[in-house]
Amino acid sequence: MRPLKFLLPIWLCICLGGASPLFAHDPEEPVLEVPEVGVTTERPVAASSQQFIPDKEYLLQPQGRPAQVLRLIPGFIAVEHSGGAGKADQYFLRGFDADHGTDVAFFSDGMPINFRTHAHGQGYTDLNFIIPETIEGLDVYKGAYHAEIGDFGTAGTVSFKTRQVVKEGVVQMAGGEFDTQRYLLMLSPTKGKVRTLFAAEGYYTNGPFQNDNRYFRTNVLGKVTVNPTNRSEMSLTGTYHRANWNASGEIPQRAVTDGSLDRFGAVDPSEGGKTTRWRGLLNYHYDTPDGGKLYANAYAQYYKLDLYTNFTFFLNDPVNGDGIQQSDRRVMYGGDAGYRQAGQLMGMNASATAGVQVRVDDIHPRLGTQTKRTPIGMTTDTDVLEASYSPFVKAELQPTPWMRFAGGLRGDLFTFDVRNRCPTCASQPAGRTTTMLVLPKANLILGPWFKTELFANYGEGFHSNDARAAVVGAASPLARARTYEIGARSKPWGQDGMELLATLWAIDIDSELVFVGDEGTTEARGPTRRRGLEVAARGPIWGPLSFNGSVTWTKAEFNNGDKIPLAPELTAYGAAILNWPKGLTTQLQATYLSVRPLTEDNSIKAPSWLDFDLTMRYMLPVKLERGRLEAFFFVQNLFDTQWEQATFAFESRLPSEPAGVTDIHFVPGNPRFLMGGMAWYF
């Protein structure tokens, strides 16, 4: 039975249950016009690693790649993966090379971003549809301690929240080296009972490569928020994203060393791709008079990608080359609904939440061979219908002012239906399977004592595996992860002073996914264990000077003692921010990624790198009839360091070579890059 039939009664119940508060007004309920009041308070957290990152922190990041904001998360590194922008980044967190998102869950206003059974990689997460200026903040969760979070949330979760309105409209124009240009328009036509937000972005760059990147990106966002009653709120969001690009790929170190290939050259300059994405999202909540909250969200998305890559060059096909084409066409739809009630239980503060999440991916992934983007063969061509149904409950209890318990239980039921479309293909996965997990969560929070809170956390999570591997038994459908954490958060200099965080953590996962270079895919390699220490500090130092930084150490191994390829041992980030008088803000930031193994026996390693960026924004003292002007300027890779982004070790063959050679293959880090522009706020 198709999952759509299961969805209909669920959403019918949601609509009927929410019809009264959504469309009707209780005549006994008074309607009050209340002036807007701003309230600032600390967000309650369940773990020392949990945090909220407001927009003021990431608007100082260099523009171009939305994933740049992720470096503000302690221990998080994002690098370009293909020698040219456009494709999803490679993500590192807590000893995971999460590839394009396999073990990091991403959300936008509650809508999942990770793609299941994606043509290029499980959990594929392309953030290029995000316009950074439209984001109000990021909620960040490490581990699997929260009942609302399921698939892919093993190492962590990042949830983007878009604004309802902007206080000022903005028109922005920027330009820089490598023919880079960016244009932004953002405004709120209405800000009262009906709140609207409109934003549009255009971006173009050729990059530093010998073969022009020709990366063009366009994004559009529209959002409207209303209050049907004085206790309810509803918002409707729509976005459009389109991009196309050329890429120089991952190049072999041996060719750069002997001088036959420039560092920014390409073996196969025909690599690249194009993508389109349409998204629609409806969010609704109703606050009851007795402290309850009913919420219901629904979303739908259409997505397509054509990706052209060549990892091994001429290893398998000395005549045509080893170029592959990965295509993904999908419709994704689903939503969630739940109810939260806060109150007193036997004299103690308490709250309870029950909810259910439903998601369906209707996918057409294909893998074939190509030469200079011309198809020459088909490897696999399937239709996949993958669905999940996830009820959860959670509760929070505070028996004393210095102790809180928060815990829950989550169930995830998955159905996989794979149908082969190509009777002559080399690979013909097909079949059906159903599986489920029950996942407990538990959190203990103690304090504050001496302005310090202590945390102990345990939670089980999972990442789903590719449906095509799941139905033929090549991989477990759902890979369970057990996550542990103890930590502390302290503000020794008061609420407005520097915040210090320290976390000791561990993650055990039943099935590791490892990159397979000659196929451009991943495969399951067995259970692993990670453990590490994370320390961070953020806040003002003195006067106009503030700091944000972190250091994370990790040990990542298979259960037999082998190293996990690409898992970084040490990552660090630091940013000093100086708010000068008269509207000038300067930020100097540094990002560090340590040496990491590229093979299980640790015989081949990727080099470490340290990169510095400088950003300056200045509010011009120019009197205008309307609005104000701001100038901004930033320098990426301030000291022009030679560094490598995505780095792998696998066998490849160049046209001049008689046989394959195992070598390091890498994407070069960008050289020093300057960009500046002007913004008019009105």
- Token look-up 């692993």 returns 528
| Overall average pLDDT of the 200-229 stretch | 96
Q: Which secondary structure element, helix H or strand E, spans residue 117, and what is its range?
A: none
- Whether 491 has a pLDDT exceeding 50, the answer reads yes
| Overall average pLDDT of the 405-410 stretch | 97
CA distance 474 to 394: 34
Assign domain 4-24+43-681 to its CATH superfamily. TonB-dependent receptor, beta-barrel domain (2.40.170.20)
**pLDDT the model gives residue 40:** 46
**pLDDT the model gives residue 474:** 83
**pLDDT the model gives residue 532:** 97
| Overall average pLDDT of the 492-513 stretch | 92
Residue 406 neighbours by CB under 8 Å, 6+ apart: 46, 394, 395, 396, 397, 442, 443, 445
- The per-residue DSSP string of 146-209 comes to -TT--BT-SSEEEEEEE-S--SS-EEEEEEETTTEEEEEEEE-S-BSSEEEEEEEEEEEE--SS
Q: Are 219 and 200 in contact (CB under 8 A)?
A: yes
Query: What would the pLDDT profile of 391-401 be if each residue is shown by its tens digit?
Result: 999 999 999 99
Query: What would the pLDDT profile of 53-97 be if each residue is shown by its tens digit?
Result: 988 887 888 777 788 889 999 999 999 888 777 899 999 999 998
**pLDDT the model gives residue 42:** 58
pTM of the predicted model over 0.85: yes
CA distance 281 to 289: 27
Parse the chain into domains and list their residue ranges: 4-24+43-681
Amino acid at 665: H
- In this predicted structure, which of 49-58, 186-195, 291-300, 543-552 has the lowest mean pLDDT? 49-58
Mean per-residue pLDDT over the chain, rounded: 91
CA distance 682 to 189: 12
**pLDDT the model gives residue 146:** 97
**pLDDT the model gives residue 84:** 72
Query: What would the pLDDT profile of 161-175 be if each residue is shown by its tens digit?
Result: 999 999 999 999 999
Strand pairing partners for 673?
Answer: 636
| Overall average pLDDT of the 559-580 stretch | 93
* CB atoms inside a 10 Å sphere around CB 288: 13
Region of residue 543 (phi > 0: left; psi between -120 and 50: alpha; otherwise: beta): left
CA distance 372 to 310: 10
Q: What is the dihedral of CA 107, 108, 112, 114, to 10 degrees?
A: -70
Q: Are 515 and 91 in contact (CB under 8 A)?
A: no
- Whether 19 has a pLDDT exceeding 60, the answer reads no
CA distance 69 to 73: 8
**pLDDT the model gives residue 253:** 97
Confidence of residue 519 (pLDDT cuts 50, 70, 90): low
CA distance 186 to 196: 11
Residue 612 neighbours by CB under 8 Å, 6+ apart: 588, 589, 590, 637, 638, 639, 641
**pLDDT the model gives residue 477:** 94
- Token look-up 């082998």 returns 562
- Whether 520 has a pLDDT exceeding 50, the answer reads no
CA distance 478 to 411: 12
**pLDDT the model gives residue 69:** 87
Strand pairing partners for 618?
Answer: 584, 631
Q: Which secondary structure element, helix H or strand E, spans residue 675, and what is its range?
A: strand 673-681
Q: What percent of the chain has pLDDT over 70?
A: 92
- Whether 158 has a pLDDT exceeding 80, the answer reads yes
Query: What would the pLDDT profile of 219-267 be if each residue is shown by its tens digit?
Result: 999 999 999 999 999 999 999 999 999 999 999 999 999 999 999 999 9
**pLDDT the model gives residue 37:** 42
Pairing verdict, β 584-593 and 609-619: antiparallel
CA distance 421 to 349: 57
- Whether 353 has a pLDDT exceeding 50, the answer reads yes
Confidence of residue 109 (pLDDT cuts 50, 70, 90): very high
- How many residues does this entry show for the chain? 682
- Angle ∠(673,676,680) on CA atoms, nearest 5: 160
Tokens read off for 63: 């523009």
Q: Are 614 and 635 in contact (CB under 8 A)?
A: yes
Long-range contacts, 316-324 (Cβ 8 Å, 24+): 316/518, 317/369, 318/653, 320/369, 320/371, 320/376, 321/268, 321/371, 322/369, 322/518, 323/268, 323/270, 323/271, 323/369, 323/370, 323/371, 323/372, 323/373, 324/367, 324/368, 324/369, 324/370, 324/379, 324/520
* CB atoms inside a 10 Å sphere around CB 223: 23
- Whether 419 has a pLDDT exceeding 50, the answer reads yes
